[in-house]
Amino acid sequence: MNWAGISLAGLMLLTAGKQTQQSAPIERRDGETEHIKVETRLVTVAVNAVDAHGAPIGGLQKDDFEIREDDKPQKIAIFERESSTPLQMVLSIDASESVFIDERLEKEAAKKFVRGILRKQDSMDLMNFADDVDEVVPFTNDPRRIESNLGNLKHGDATALYDAIYLAAQRMTEVPPAPEQRRVIVLITDGEDTTHHGSYDSALEQVQRAGAMVYALIIVPVAADAGRNTGGEHALIQMANDTGGKYYYVEDRRDLAPAFEHLSDDLRTQYSLAYYAPQKGGDRAGLRHIHVQLKDSAGKKDATLRYRTAYYGNR
């Protein structure tokens, strides 16, 4: 699928991260089966807990956490330790000439990541972006399909970064989410948007609507370059922080494989918390803010939590 020249405004979907409509079968007296739509308002929040040294904190229990929406306490309905919940991922690779230089190293690092992270319950979509955004492989749980198509990325001169983020998140909302699913967008890029088609704000909003976390592997061209423009990097870092993801600097192409390993470890050591979004006078639309903390009784005063801090409710 190619999104060249697509209007981002025309793609806006007002879809919350985990608020979905599901079809439930019921049997009528005449023996026929019909379906009714049942709306669920389950909001899933993936949480990473680390100590003062950045090491993951294991062994936390459901009762160790508190979660609030718009400053109102919420009851944790579902809790998973060191999360094994399904992953829906988009791996989006910047194929502009300024980034995609050592193809062999980059492809091998990506292949190793795909083999290590994809399980039967997971799915991954492969995209690449340069002048335009292309979907190379639609969602699949077969790592071989992703690996075999890493050689089919289309190069270009420009970098449509915000279009790539927006369309990755938009693509996620087209696939009905599995229960308690975690959504993750992984970007390999230098962080600089050079096309000016989309915007940071529209990309962030769509990510929040999808309920996705952004992980960025930021390729640093020349770390010591005094004329280096770091504005794009900082914007991408902010998006990763706001969505509960993480960023990694890659100053040498050989650092890509370790960065992927850190990313995999981060996803494997998450806690998954879910609660039912409260009704708001019949209107659940709009941005809602999430706050998660550990109770004093958890005894982890030096802990730092990372999670997505907002999502959009359905209209």
The pLDDT tens digits of the residues spanning 217-273 come to 998 865 545 555 677 899 999 999 999 999 999 988 788 999 999 999 999 999 999
Q: Give residue 72's pLDDT.
A: 96
- Does residue 177 carry a pLDDT above 80? no
pLDDT band at 176 (very low <50, low <70, confident <90, very high): confident
Q: Give residue 8's pLDDT.
A: 39
- Does residue 137 carry a pLDDT above 80? yes
Q: How far apart are CA 196 and CA 48, in angstroms?
A: 33
- Does residue 20 carry a pLDDT above 90? no
pLDDT band at 101 (very low <50, low <70, confident <90, very high): low
On average, the pLDDT of the chain sits at 83
Percent of the chain with pLDDT over 90: 59
What is the model's pTM?
0.84
214 in Cβ contact with 207 (< 8 Å) = yes
Mean pLDDT of 274-288: 78
- Does residue 146 carry a pLDDT above 90? yes
Candidate from 32-46, 193-207, 237-251 with smallest mean pLDDT:
32-46
- Does residue 143 carry a pLDDT above 50? yes
Burial class (CB within 10 angstroms; exposed 0-12, middle 13-18, buried 19+) of 52: exposed
- Does residue 34 carry a pLDDT above 70? no
Bridge-based pairing of strands 87-94 and 123-129 is: parallel
Q: How far apart are CA 149 and CA 128, in angstroms?
A: 11
Bridge-based pairing of strands 78-80 and 271-276 is: antiparallel
- Does residue 24 carry a pLDDT above 80? no
Q: How far apart are CA 207 and CA 16, in angstroms?
A: 10
Q: How far apart are CA 5 and CA 198, in angstroms?
A: 11
Candidate from 1-10, 241-250, 264-273, 302-311 with smallest mean pLDDT:
1-10
Burial class (CB within 10 angstroms; exposed 0-12, middle 13-18, buried 19+) of 297: exposed
Taken in order of first residue, the domains within the chain and their CATH numbers are 37-43+54-77+271-313 (no CATH), 84-268 (3.40.50.410)
Give buried/exposed letters for 212-237 (b at 16+ CB in 10 A, else e): bbbbbbbbbeeeeeeeeeeebbebbb
Candidate from 32-46, 61-75, 172-186 with smallest mean pLDDT:
32-46
Quote the tokens at residue 150: 């890493």
- Does residue 153 carry a pLDDT above 50? yes
- Of 180, 110, 175, 116, nearest to 148 by C-alpha is 110
Mean pLDDT of 172-184: 86
Q: Which H or E run includes 112?
A: helix 103-117
Q: How far apart are CA 100 and CA 206, in angstroms?
A: 26
- Does residue 100 carry a pLDDT above 90? no
